[in-house]
Amino acid sequence: MHLNIRVLILISIFTALDLSFAQNEDSLKQELFSALKGFTDYTVNVLLDEEGKSRCDYNMIEGKWYPYEEAWHTGQLIYGLVEAYRTTGDKNLLEEAKRAGDWWCSLLITDHPKLKGMVRAVHGDHAGNRIVFATVTDGTAGLFNLYKETGNKKYAEVPTSAGRWMMDNMYVPEYKLFYDSVNEETGEVMKENSPFWPNKEEQDIFDVARPNNEGSIFKDMYEFTGDEKYKEMFIELCESLLQYQGEEGLWMDFMPNHKNEGTFHPRFNLWYAESLLEGYDLTGDERYLKAAKKTLDLYLNYQRGDGTIYYKNYLDGRSNQNSVTGSAVAFAGMLWIRLVGYGVGQEYKDNIERSFNWITRNRYSIDHPDENLAGSLINLRTRRKYGKLWITQRDVGTAFGMRFLAAYYNYRFAESDK
């Protein structure tokens, strides 16, 4: 009799634990989809303008939007919308991604004697009307994903055309680097002076060229066309990243890292790490996986206990705390999830949960009185510009927030929901 009572007690305890676990899982899932809906509604209703391009940067003091690397920012939103569509099945998100993709494809240059086949992806801001390599390539990943979902070849053909032009005109084989910039008016590649260093009199190859593997465009071009030369180009850039990576896991020779200051950009190095993981997927070369992990290991030291990652970080462990960067929280979280999936990142699991908690808790309310902010993920850039204080909310936080939540859903719930 006593044994039966003990069994019943144990059964009731385990039943309660199972129920509590299920309720917790349901609560997390509800929180995830609530945040994702906020991000997608904000993207569709606010971030994408009438033409289908991103509004980019919102000056919170002026209440005014400023364009900035529109091709890059729009490409990021396309990527986020496609991933959100894959998670939710909401066909309107795919339609909006197509609208943005149509705008992106309209940048194809057809009437310039030197730039024909390239895209007019100007940087803006301090770089002016210069076409910048990474503005193009890191905007293309969303386009290729859009092609995979829709089957519309133009979303792959236009970025392939741009990649072909850059490969023919901007590569520096002896260094395994690509020049950064092109004069939009003349079509000349800027080989001696970078628009990013207007006050630097003497500039070397590292000032005007980088590995520029963001977006893994040549891998996507290879998979779209089957042309082996694009595969070879992509692998050569992965080798370049191995060559130039520092012991700390970063690429300090290249802006927007600043070697002389000992500071690094919150996302730049993650893009290179992501491309190395794409290289690992393509080739199975363990060196690429190891190099990417070195980068992600470093980021463990720069995510604070509450999940925050700041914009400006120093190699000595300090961070300037005036700008919180939701996109970096999301991007690092995505790559930590990916490494766990490869079986080499068990130590990242706590940080993944910090990223999830931060992203779901650091959003502007959907009822925020300023509709230019309502529902978005906090991603601030605070600085002095044109002699006054600029506090900017950037669209890229929401773009990466969508991607992270889709990745987190697959990481935590996809198998159980089958």
Which tens digits make up the pLDDT trace of 382-391?
A: 988 888 899 9
Q: What is the pLDDT of residue 387?
A: 86
Using the predicted structure, report yes or no on whether residue 324 has a pLDDT greater than 80. yes
Which pTM was predicted? 0.93
Separation CA 234–CA 213 (nearest Å): 8
Helix (H, G, I), strand (E, B) or coil at 288: helix
Give the pLDDT confidence of 343-396 residue by residue, as tens digits.
Answer: 999 999 999 999 999 999 999 999 999 999 999 999 999 988 888 899 999 999
The two structure tokens encoding residue 115: 């730039």
Mean pLDDT confidence for 191-205: 82
Q: What is the pLDDT of residue 1?
A: 46
Cα→Cα distances 417→15, 371, 390, Å: 21, 34, 44
User: Which of the four pLDDT bands, split at 50, 70 and 90, describes residue 173?
Assistant: very high
**What percent of the chain clears pLDDT 90, i.e. is strictly above it?**
86
Q: What is the pLDDT of residue 74?
A: 98
Q: Are 217 and 207 in contact (CB under 8 A)?
A: no
Using the predicted structure, report yes or no on whether residue 417 has a pLDDT greater than 80. no
Q: How many Cα atoms occupy the beta-carbon half-sphere of 245 within 13 Å?
A: 28
Residue 374 CB partners (closer than 8 Å, separation 6+): 42, 46, 364, 365, 366, 367, 368
Q: What is the pLDDT of residue 339?
A: 98
User: Which of the four pLDDT bands, split at 50, 70 and 90, describes residue 202?
Assistant: confident
